[in-house]
Amino acid sequence: AKAKEYVHSAQVAMETCNTEKGGTYSGCTEAALKTIEPTLNSAVFKEVKVEEGEVAYKVAIEGAKSTQKFWVERSKAGVLGYKCEVAATGGCPTGGDWSKG
């Protein structure tokens, strides 16, 4: 559950970073997210990736076990997705989509 909280906090920090950068995610790195949201200093980041012309991103956080990860993805259309692996274990629902809970 803690990893999901970190992912949500990282998503909010990404949006804050985007606002501070004038509408781009360029420069919204792990270090920038930790500066914006200090509780993320305790998170184990697996990936922070900005793509699609700096309007899309993915932020992944390690779960309670190093084999588990949870992430948020924002498409260039602005759609958010909350995914995880390994499905059906450690708080990751069957199918790997935790957007509904």
Average pLDDT over residues 17-34: 95
20: alpha, beta or left? (left if phi > 0; alpha if psi -120 to 50): alpha
Q: Scanning the structure block, which residue is given the tokens 């499905």? A: 87
Residue 54 has pLDDT above 90, yes or no: no
1 confidence band (pLDDT: 50, 70, 90):
confident
- Which pLDDT does position 79 carry in this prediction? 95
CB 25 within 8 Å of CB 40: no
Q: Over 70: is that where the pLDDT of 58 sits?
A: yes
The sheet with strand 45-51 has its strands ordered as: 45-51, 56-62, 69-74, 80-85
| Segment 62-91, tens digit of pLDDT | 998 888 999 999 999 999 999 999 999 889
Tokens found for residue 20: 């501070």
Check if the beta carbon of residue 77 is closer than 8 Å to that of residue 28.
Answer: no
Give this prediction's pTM.
0.92
pLDDT interval class at 101 (50, 70, 90)? low
